[in-house]
Structure 1
Amino acid sequence: MTIDMSQFFQVFFDEAEELLAEKEKLLLAVDISSPDPEDLNAIFRAAHSIKGGASTFGLTDMTEVTHILESLLDKIRKGEMALTGEHVDAFLIAKDILKMQLDGHRLGTPVDQDAVADVRMLLQSLSQDPVPASAPIASFNSRIPELDHSDVVFKTAFKIEMPEVSEADAVAIMSELGLLGAISRLDNNGKNVVLALRTNESKDDIISICSFILNPDTLKISEEQIASLPAGKAEPTEDELGYGFFEPLESMFPPEENKAAPVAEKMVDVVAAEKQVQQAEKKIEKPAASQESSTIRVGIEKVDQLINLIGELVITQAMLEQRTQDLDPIANERLLSSVAHLTRNTRDLQEAVMSIRMMPMDYVFSRFPRMVRDLATKLGKKVEFVTYGASTELDKGLIERIVDPLTHLVRNSIDHGIEMPATRAQSGKNETGKLSLSAVHQGGNIVIEVSDDGGGLHREKILAKAKQNGLTVSDSMTDSEVWLLIFAPGFSTAETVTDVSGRGVGMDVVKRNITAMGGVVDIRSAKGYGTTITISLPLTLAILDGMSIKFGNEIYILPLGFVMESLQPTKADIKEISGKGRVVKVRDEYLPLVPLYEYFDIQPKYTDPSDGIVVIVEVDGKKAALFVDDLVGQQQVVVKNIESNYKKVPGISGATILGDGGVALILDVAAVLRTAR
């Protein structure tokens, strides 16, 4: 039987990338002085799974690296070799090489073969005395440490007959099957291999492992139940084990070869004892089969298509609701009740589908431990990195766009924020600085914080640099206003330019990218105590709560997240500032007045603010009053991109379709206020 494996390649690529990320996470968290055996087993299983998948799909370059990596990991987890920092560094480098090879197969990107050869040599050197693939079975068995498994009980015995295979493949299969229980070899000719396996696993597990090397149709597997043995009993006889269908081990070897049999028995003992513990660990770690089958891998394009269809359904439902508003509620009670029921179901369906696009922030946070470790080492600093709220969810579209801004902020905290160990010690601080990354939901937004306990921002240095760059500043500026100067293009207080920072490129891009996502940035800092940068983002850009406003004959949507309040001012509250426009007084605070009809060049119903409505909005900590003719209502709107069909319109972030079928533009509040100022 020939199976077309190409359809499964993408699944392997996705799963391999997840396994590499998990492996890196475990390596960065492992306690080198006293590693948790379960962590070592998990790291080994990740490498083993990648090797198995790569072998299945014929990706020999990845198989070669993972084979050496797996051998070294196996020694460490069995206690034959102590884990060191050098090992962890080598494993992380190997992870990078495997990721490069994976991208090479998936994306066609170049693979540095010299780097691949270097990491293989590094892993081989750390293995001290690696076992060659062609090693005879006796040699393979003799490397297993002697352990006692007198109280290990196996429920099933399998006799596995395979077609003619090479000695190297025979040893490799024995090694893999040894993960399932106690394995021994019954043949002695190295051609048609016959193995005996005592295990608590299923026949399917055996087939899965053997299929990495062999066609499963060529396997012949027989099984028989084994009677339970009391703890501590001596090695059971054939009759006790139910081995009636196996020939005695002694009869399979000539007398002169029987000397190898005790070695084989020791291998059985060791593998059984160790793997029995591993199987117990797996049962704790793995969810039930019913849980595993409750999830499926779906392409994001399918989810986006589903969301678009739900958006159209929401628009259609809004149209129906608007059409029925003028109907007699008594004569059309059943129809109106059905429409109301449809509205509720549509809202529930919309929220359920939107939740599919939501991803945990751990998708972002998991990228940083390695970067923090490498950068801190490069700069000679000690940094403890912690995360909070990794399970907090955010729309996938925003998750992908927030990675780069957060990366820059984290690098800045390490480079500019956290001091050198000696400097921290002189200040009475712990030599190890603390860098934290947190995420939490607040209403309809997600608030992400990057915080460090470093030296904090230097007010005088920032002001001096701002003056040098020609920015308008004054000594009377508040700290909050001074901190925001670091987001100016080309701004940097670094005394020297390095490959980490110092060119003044980045923070302005961070601010611009976050603003483009409808978010705001805030900075809090205290000299000598550290800095916290807070980013507030809407949970999703696909749908938003909006306020319908009207000026002239046009209806626009104002994102509700920017709205503070709305009011009708009196004539006394409106003040004219010569050459700078008007302001409105709101509770002893004067706010700039922005007539939207002037911004969009529309003939309004009112030109006097006291006749219309002003909506108070806040962006980047600064408030303004938008002058409109009227407030129409509040509703959830489905955001449509107008740039793909038209072009970028200043002051507009998107569009939506109203219940009457008309199109309403969604205001880009931040852009409107920047232009108005």
Structure 2
Amino acid sequence: MSMDLQRFHATYFEESREGLDAMEAGLLALEGGSLDPEVVNSVFRAAHSIKGGAATFGFDKMASLTHVLETLLDEIRAGKRALAASALDAMLGSVDVLRALLAEAEQGKPADPAAVAAVHARLEQELGGSGESKAAAAAGPEPEGWNIAFAPAPSLFMSGNDPLRILRELEHLGTLEVDARFERLPTFAQLDPLEACIAWDLGLRGKVPRSAIDDVFAWVVDDCELDIQPQPAAAAAAVATAPVVAATPAAAQAAVPVAGQPAAEAESSIRVSVDKVDALINLVGELVITQAMLKQVSGGLDPGLAERLTAGLELLERNTRDLQEAVIGVRMLPVDAVFRRFPRLVRDLSARLGKQVRLRTVGEGTELDKGLIEKIADPLVHLVRNSIDHGLEAPEARRAAGKDETGTITLAASHQGGHIVIEVADDGRGLNRDKILAKAAERGLAIPDNPSDAQVWDLIFQPGFSTADQVTDLSGRGVGMDVVRRNIQALGGEVQLESGEGRGTRVVIRLPLTLAILDGMVVSTGGEILILPLNHVLEALQPQAEDIRTVAGDGRVLRVRGEYLPLLSLAGHYAFGAGGRESLVVVVEGDGQKLALQVEELVGQQQVVVKNLERNYRRVPGISGATILGDGRVALIVDVGGLVRLRQQLPQAA
């Protein structure tokens, strides 16, 4: 009976990506001077796991490359060869090629055959052509053979392992005698092809190190009953002609898990498709809407008659919020999932540019929605590349400026209010204000009179803007910071830039914790309901007529405790027909700037489910999405950062 192994491909691909990340992190730690033997072992285990799965699924190029890599790692961890810099380079190169081969197996995108052959040759060169024999050489006297009792747990297949692959690996070590045991095999009617039911008695003849056998079984030790014993010399001599003696009934009985008792400790985590989690989040969102509808309907009932109903609805509201937070928590991942790709990027790019760079990471455990993590990676890569290429000086320039020759790139993440804040900072030369202004004038960009530093730095985000003196494959083409800002804004986030000449540059990105649900202030104006994201709201007030002024070139402003804020009528901005009665103001902050928004009424605070307006209708400037209210009406969610940017771009009334 054949088994369709393709159903296990997705799990193998995901685990292999994780394994390659672990290999890269381990190799970089070794290059950084780590002396922990467990680091080498972790890299070896990752390579061994990838090789085993590749052989099982027929990904021959991956299996061949990881076999050589595994052999080299085995010699290093056994102390048979020193860890040379050239070997580390070769192994890091193999990680890149394995990622390409993984993409080829998963997506059909062909890997560069020349790169595969070159890395393979480099690894073989490191082995010196004799690595295979040295890896198999015994460190001391070994038995003449081994008796192995192997009883897989019924769930072995579900972990992506296959007993036949294990037997094939053992055959490479020596002469193998195989006897199958069928005492656990059910009747045909009860047979489940996804359960492993056959146990094995194996005889392995030859002076094989015990460690080599342990490596073969390394990834199934928690999913099987395993007994490995050295063979007596006489038995080893006869193993080629006589079958291995079957295990005693007691041993066979011990190999079978007792009914009701798990073969191994239960897994502490499970893999779930993201689509299933998204569907669950969507259902919780609908539950939030239903709960809001019930609360609104109950508001019109007699309080005395509906006391128990009201109490039940309050409990439902608390439980719904707890459920929503728990479900969203399933999608939350530590930002380290993004940060851990940067040590390799910094290493390769600094070597390429002849600069000395250390990477410092802070707050790697800060959690962010998985959807945001996947989309924030590319902007962060661009910012780090910019910091190394443009921000940090060459060692001799830093030395002349009285700085440490090694520059520092800092990646930091933290929670602040309802946002996650990610910072990319360097201690390099900083931005040159005069150079930026000259480039802006050369390109005909609008420059305010006596611009502040913040206004000058903002010019960098203009499309096509670049201060690079020459075009390279890293920079100078004017494609970059505008794309970074656009991508971050598409995620509902903001990006700010701070710099001091000679002191470095700091880019601050603020993102919502999740894209699914937000706490909002519900306001009405012009006969319409709008939602202001609560994490942008600073205060609400009723202004006096004398506090509102009109400033030439800056439109209307509102004085709030001595500070003048731009004043914007929401009804007027969105062209609601029934405006003009806006007596209240909500002060909000977006992109680091405050804005006073005129509204008619503050309806209250409410948790709302964000619906994508662009996907269901079209993109509307100044609107980030929509939601469904308890009475079934659709309310628009105000894009506070978008309003700030829109006001900066438009000419103001005199």
Which bin holds the TM-score, normalised by the shorter protein? Answer: 0.7 to 0.9
Match of 2:414 in 1: 440
Query: Do residues 629 (structure 1) and 604 (structure 2) align?
Result: no
Query: Do residues 669 (structure 1) and 640 (structure 2) align?
Result: yes
1:457-606 map, 5 Å:
457-473=431-447, 476-577=450-551, 581-604=555-578, 606=580
1:141-156 map, 5 Å:
143-146=137-140
The Cα offsets for residues 570-605 of structure 1, whole Å up to 9 and x where unpaired, read as 111122345764222222222222111112221335
Task: Report the 3-state secondary structure (helix = DSSP H, G, I; strand = E; otherwise coil) of the residue aligned with 1:350.
Answer: helix
Task: Report the 3-state secondary structure (helix = DSSP H, G, I; strand = E; otherwise coil) of the residue aligned with 1:583.
Answer: strand
Taking the aligned partners of 1:448 and 1:630, their CA distance within structure 2 comes to 35
Tell me if the contact between 1:160 and 1:194 (Cα under 8 Å) persists in the aligned partners: no
Tell me if the contact between 2:166 and 2:217 (Cα under 8 Å) persists in the aligned partners: no
Taking structure 1 as reference, are residues 173 and 669 closer, same or farther at Cα in structure 2, changes over 3 Å only? same
Match of 1:153 in 2: none
Structure 1 position 469, deviation (Å): 2.2
The Cα offsets for residues 322-363 of structure 1, whole Å up to 9 and x where unpaired, read as 111122232222222222211111111111111111111011
Taking structure 1 as reference, are residues 502 and 513 closer, same or farther at Cα in structure 2, changes over 3 Å only? same
Structure 1 position 203, deviation (Å): 11
Taking the aligned partners of 1:250 and 1:522, their CA distance within structure 2 comes to 72
Task: Report the 3-state secondary structure (helix = DSSP H, G, I; strand = E; otherwise coil) of the residue aligned with 1:330.
Answer: coil
Taking the aligned partners of 2:623 and 2:176, their CA distance within structure 1 comes to 76
Structure 1 position 175, deviation (Å): 6.9
Taking the aligned partners of 2:294 and 2:237, their CA distance within structure 1 comes to 84
Task: Report the 3-state secondary structure (helix = DSSP H, G, I; strand = E; otherwise coil) of the residue aligned with 1:471.
Answer: coil
Taking the aligned partners of 2:202 and 2:298, their CA distance within structure 1 comes to 78
From 239, 242, 248, give the equivalent of 2:234. Answer: 248
Structure 1 position 423, deviation (Å): 1.1
AA aligned to 1:158 is I
Taking structure 1 as reference, are residues 251 and 661 closer, same or farther at Cα in structure 2, changes over 3 Å only? closer
Tell me if the contact between 2:414 and 2:420 (Cα under 8 Å) persists in the aligned partners: yes
Tell me if the contact between 1:439 and 1:448 (Cα under 8 Å) persists in the aligned partners: yes
Query: Do residues 158 (structure 1) and 161 (structure 2) align?
Result: no
Taking structure 1 as reference, are residues 130 and 198 closer, same or farther at Cα in structure 2, changes over 3 Å only? closer
Query: Do residues 173 (structure 1) and 170 (structure 2) align?
Result: yes
Taking the aligned partners of 2:14 and 2:550, their CA distance within structure 1 comes to 61
Taking the aligned partners of 1:203 and 1:68, their CA distance within structure 2 comes to 18
Structure 1 position 402, deviation (Å): 1.1
Taking the aligned partners of 1:645 and 1:172, their CA distance within structure 2 comes to 54
Taking the aligned partners of 2:523 and 2:67, their CA distance within structure 1 comes to 65
Match of 2:91 in 1: 91
Task: Report the 3-state secondary structure (helix = DSSP H, G, I; strand = E; otherwise coil) of the residue aligned with 1:601.
Answer: coil
From 653, 664, 674, give the equivalent of 2:624. Answer: 653
Match of 1:312 in 2: 286
Structure 1 position 17, deviation (Å): 0.9
The Cα offsets for residues 414-456 of structure 1, whole Å up to 9 and x where unpaired, read as 0011111111122222221111101011121111111111111
Structure 1 position 3, deviation (Å): 2.5
Match of 2:245 in 1: none
Structure 1 position 289, deviation (Å): 5.3
Tell me if the contact between 2:492 and 2:624 (Cα under 8 Å) persists in the aligned partners: no
Tell me if the contact between 2:539 and 2:588 (Cα under 8 Å) persists in the aligned partners: yes
Query: Do residues 78 (structure 1) and 53 (structure 2) align?
Result: no
Tell me if the contact between 2:571 and 2:579 (Cα under 8 Å) persists in the aligned partners: no
* TM-score, with length taken from structure 1: 0.80
Match of 2:159 in 1: none
Task: Report the 3-state secondary structure (helix = DSSP H, G, I; strand = E; otherwise coil) of the residue aligned with 2:614.
Answer: coil
Query: Do residues 456 (structure 1) and 442 (structure 2) align?
Result: no
Residue identity (%): 51
RMSD (Å) for aligned C-alpha atoms? 3.4
Taking structure 1 as reference, are residues 204 and 519 closer, same or farther at Cα in structure 2, changes over 3 Å only? closer
Task: Report the 3-state secondary structure (helix = DSSP H, G, I; strand = E; otherwise coil) of the residue aligned with 1:326.
Answer: coil
AA aligned to 2:329 is S
Tell me if the contact between 2:417 and 2:535 (Cα under 8 Å) persists in the aligned partners: no
Query: Do residues 7 (structure 1) and 7 (structure 2) align?
Result: yes
Taking the aligned partners of 2:477 and 2:239, their CA distance within structure 1 comes to 74
The Cα offsets for residues 1-44 of structure 1, whole Å up to 9 and x where unpaired, read as 43321211111111111101110111112146664211111111
Match of 1:373 in 2: 347
From 623, 633, 641, give the equivalent of 2:612. Answer: 641
Task: Report the 3-state secondary structure (helix = DSSP H, G, I; strand = E; otherwise coil) of the residue aligned with 2:596.
Answer: strand
Tell me if the contact between 1:157 and 1:198 (Cα under 8 Å) persists in the aligned partners: no
Match of 2:66 in 1: 66
Taking the aligned partners of 1:80 and 1:297, their CA distance within structure 2 comes to 38
Taking structure 1 as reference, are residues 202 and 416 closer, same or farther at Cα in structure 2, changes over 3 Å only? closer
Structure 1 position 374, deviation (Å): 1.1
Taking the aligned partners of 1:25 and 1:309, their CA distance within structure 2 comes to 38
Structure 1 position 660, deviation (Å): 1.2
1:415-426 map, 5 Å:
415-426=389-400
Taking the aligned partners of 1:354 and 1:193, their CA distance within structure 2 comes to 49
Tell me if the contact between 1:186 and 1:252 (Cα under 8 Å) persists in the aligned partners: no
Match of 1:397 in 2: 371
Tell me if the contact between 2:521 and 2:605 (Cα under 8 Å) persists in the aligned partners: yes
List gaps (5 residues or longer) in structure 1.
150-155, 162-167, 177-183, 211-215, 227-240, 255-287
Taking the aligned partners of 1:444 and 1:112, their CA distance within structure 2 comes to 45
Query: Do residues 336 (structure 1) and 310 (structure 2) align?
Result: yes
Taking the aligned partners of 1:563 and 1:54, their CA distance within structure 2 comes to 53
Taking the aligned partners of 2:166 and 2:420, their CA distance within structure 1 comes to 53
Taking the aligned partners of 2:166 and 2:325, their CA distance within structure 1 comes to 53
Taking structure 1 as reference, are residues 551 and 58 closer, same or farther at Cα in structure 2, changes over 3 Å only? same
Task: Report the 3-state secondary structure (helix = DSSP H, G, I; strand = E; otherwise coil) of the residue aligned with 1:290.
Answer: coil
* TM-score, with length taken from structure 2: 0.82
Taking the aligned partners of 2:166 and 2:269, their CA distance within structure 1 comes to 35
Taking the aligned partners of 2:211 and 2:441, their CA distance within structure 1 comes to 74
Taking structure 1 as reference, are residues 665 and 86 closer, same or farther at Cα in structure 2, changes over 3 Å only? same
Match of 1:122 in 2: 122
Taking the aligned partners of 2:378 and 2:226, their CA distance within structure 1 comes to 56
Taking the aligned partners of 1:446 and 1:472, their CA distance within structure 2 comes to 32
Taking the aligned partners of 1:51 and 1:301, their CA distance within structure 2 comes to 29
The Cα offsets for residues 359-400 of structure 1, whole Å up to 9 and x where unpaired, read as 110111112111111111111111111211111111112112
Structure 1 position 115, deviation (Å): 1.7
The Cα offsets for residues 514-549 of structure 1, whole Å up to 9 and x where unpaired, read as 222222222222222222111111111111111111
The Cα offsets for residues 64-97 of structure 1, whole Å up to 9 and x where unpaired, read as 1111111111111111111112111111111111
Taking the aligned partners of 2:214 and 2:79, their CA distance within structure 1 comes to 30
Structure 1 position 100, deviation (Å): 0.9
Q: Please, which moves more after superposition, 42-51 or 198-207? A: 198-207
Taking the aligned partners of 1:202 and 1:144, their CA distance within structure 2 comes to 13
Tell me if the contact between 1:484 and 1:523 (Cα under 8 Å) persists in the aligned partners: yes
Task: Report the 3-state secondary structure (helix = DSSP H, G, I; strand = E; otherwise coil) of the residue aligned with 2:365.
Answer: coil
Match of 1:290 in 2: 265
Taking the aligned partners of 1:427 and 1:527, their CA distance within structure 2 comes to 12
Taking structure 1 as reference, are residues 170 and 204 closer, same or farther at Cα in structure 2, changes over 3 Å only? closer
Tell me if the contact between 1:545 and 1:637 (Cα under 8 Å) persists in the aligned partners: yes
List gaps (5 residues or longer) in structure 2.
152-164, 178-200, 241-262
AA aligned to 1:348 is D
AA aligned to 1:623 is K
Taking the aligned partners of 2:64 and 2:511, their CA distance within structure 1 comes to 45
AA aligned to 2:559 is K
Q: Please, which moves more after superposition, 490-499 or 8-17? A: 490-499
Structure showing greater Rg = 1
Q: Please, which moves more after superposition, 193-202 or 352-361? A: 193-202
Task: Report the 3-state secondary structure (helix = DSSP H, G, I; strand = E; otherwise coil) of the residue aligned with 1:400.
Answer: helix
